[in-house]
Amino acid sequence: MKFFRYASDMGDLRQALNEAAEIKRDRFKFRSLGENKTVLLIFFNNSLRTRLSTQKAALNLGMNVIVLDVNQGAWKLETERGVVMDGDKSEHLLEAVPVMAQYCDLIGVRTFARFESREADYTEQILNQFIRYSGRPVFSMESATVHPLQAFADLITIEEHKRSVRPKVVLTWAPHPKALPQAVPNSFAEWMRAADVDFVVTHPEGYELDPQFVGDARVEYDQMKAFENADFIYAKNWSCPGVTRSDDYGKIINTDRSWTVDADHMAVTRNAFFMHCLPVRRNMIVTDDVIEAPTSLVIPEAANREISATVVLKRMLEAL
Ligand code: CP
């Protein structure tokens, strides 16, 4: 695997899940694979889970790890070509990326949507500059529009906990005080469509996800109706994707707290498991009692980030 952004980069998901199970049984099984190999993890944004789980995955495989927080200690980077660099940005990504590539074999990039331009975000401008100018295999650690390491970990978690062959999985929008990217719901929708599940998305009008990710998935605007007989509830906030109203891209267009996942919502499900990628704002996205219930999978999900990252790094090492 040379690049990891989309479910299709993973190939057959059944095979990927088998590989994940194999690694979970013995996460050090492939530790000789990464000997004398270095992964560079570049963070343009904050992270707890991705930072720790990806480092742990690299260590499982015997790799060396370098972590760079671009906004703390590196030169401030310009990302637009053609800009007269007379401001506070001292280095251009077009030099910085090939330089960084000199010191590593694989590169992981965390860079959020900027909400300045839908086009810039949805063409993955920054991630693609790493792909184009590094000459190295590159994986997204959540980029402008996708979070594939999270979606793969979510799929592993569903596989481990499902009580029927084809469970009903509901992705629900929930309110949040700050505008958040669409990366997690985009990837979750994309991966659920590729998996063998009955997938339903529910959100207020105006929050329609980009068709390249949501495809022909069932969209239900009545949240309670969507929750009926669900086996898994996956809650997440996202800002307006700008699909139906492009001027609203990246904005908060609904603050309705009735969308917060609470015990009344969960009561109409089939004793569903609750999922969220974390970090989560309690009593905005989900109430304390739901996230603390025995059916909450937020910690196993986070634990599976180590497994998804180990599978991805292993495949990238095998392809070097
Ligand atoms: N879920 C997730 O990616 O968490 P972090 O932002 O803390 O890495």
Who has greater pLDDT, 79 or 84?
84
For ligand 1, the distance from its centroid to the CA atom of residue 148, given in whole angstroms, is 12
Mean pLDDT of the region 69-86? 92
Atom of ligand 1 at shortest range from CA of 277: 1
296 and 309 assigned to the same domain: no
- Ligand 1 atom at minimum distance from 48 CA: 7
Task: Give the tens place of pLDDT for each residue, 247-280.
Answer: 999 999 999 999 999 999 999 999 999 999 999 9
Q: Which mutation among 143, 278, 285, 297 tests ligand 1's pocket best, with the greatest number of atoms within 8 A of CB?
A: 278
| 154 shares its domain with 297 | yes
Q: How far apart are CA 126 and CA 124, in angstroms?
A: 6
pLDDT band at 231 (very low <50, low <70, confident <90, very high): very high
Q: What percent of the chain has pLDDT over 70?
A: 100
CA of 133 to the centre of ligand 1 (A): 26
Domain containing residue 291: 150-301
Give the chain's length. Answer: 320
Of the residues 46, 47, 56, which should be mutated to test ligand 1's pocket, given the most ligand atoms within 8 Å of the CB?
Answer: 47
- Same domain membership, residue 172 and residue 160: yes
Task: Tell me what pLDDT residue 245 has.
Answer: 86
Give the pLDDT mean for 119-138. 96
- Do 262 and 216 fall within a single domain? yes
E strands along 63-137, which residues? Answer: 64-69, 77-78, 91-92, 106-110
State whether residue 198 is helix, strand or coil. strand
**Ligand 1: centre distance to CA 209 (Å):** 21
Which H/E stretch holds residue 150?
helix 148-161
Atom of ligand 1 nearest to the CA of 110: 8
| 87 CA distance to ligand 1 middle (Å) | 31
Mean pLDDT of the chain: 97
CA of 149 relative to ligand 1 center, distance in Å: 10
CB-defined site of ligand 1, < 6 Å: 47-50, 142, 150, 277-279
Q: Are residues 38 and 133 in the same domain?
A: yes
Do 8 and 90 lie in one domain? The reply is: yes
Kindly give the residue spans of alpha helices, DSSP state H, lying in 26-107.
49-60, 93-101
Residue 64: CATH number of its domain: 3.40.50.1370
Residue nearest atom 3 in ligand 1 by C-alpha distance: 50
Nearest residue (CA) to ligand 1, atom 6: 47
Shared-domain flag, residues 139 and 176: no
Number of domains into which the chain is organized: 2
Is 157 in the same domain as 135? no
- Residues 175, 138: one domain? no
Q: What angle do CA 40, 42, 46 make, to 5 degrees?
A: 140
Q: What is the pLDDT of residues 159-208, one digit of tens each?
A: 999 999 999 999 999 999 999 999 999 999 999 999 999 999 999 999 99
**pLDDT per residue over 12-48, tens digit each?**
999 999 999 999 999 999 999 999 999 999 999 999 9
Name the DSSP class of 164: S
User: What is d(CA 12, CA 1) in angstroms, rounded to the nearest whole number?
Assistant: 13
Rg of the chain's alpha carbons, rounded to an integer?
Answer: 20
pLDDT digits (tens, 9 = 90+) for 58-74: 999 999 999 999 989 88
- Dist CA 48 CA 189 (whole Å): 23
For atom 5 of ligand 1, which residue has the closest CA? Answer: 47
H helix or E strand, kind and range, residue 218? strand 218-219
Does 162 share its domain with 223? yes
pTM recorded for the entire structure:
0.98
**Nearest-5° Cα angle at 116, 114 to 118:** 90
pLDDT band at 311 (very low <50, low <70, confident <90, very high): very high
State pLDDT tens for residues 277-300.
999 999 999 999 999 999 999 999
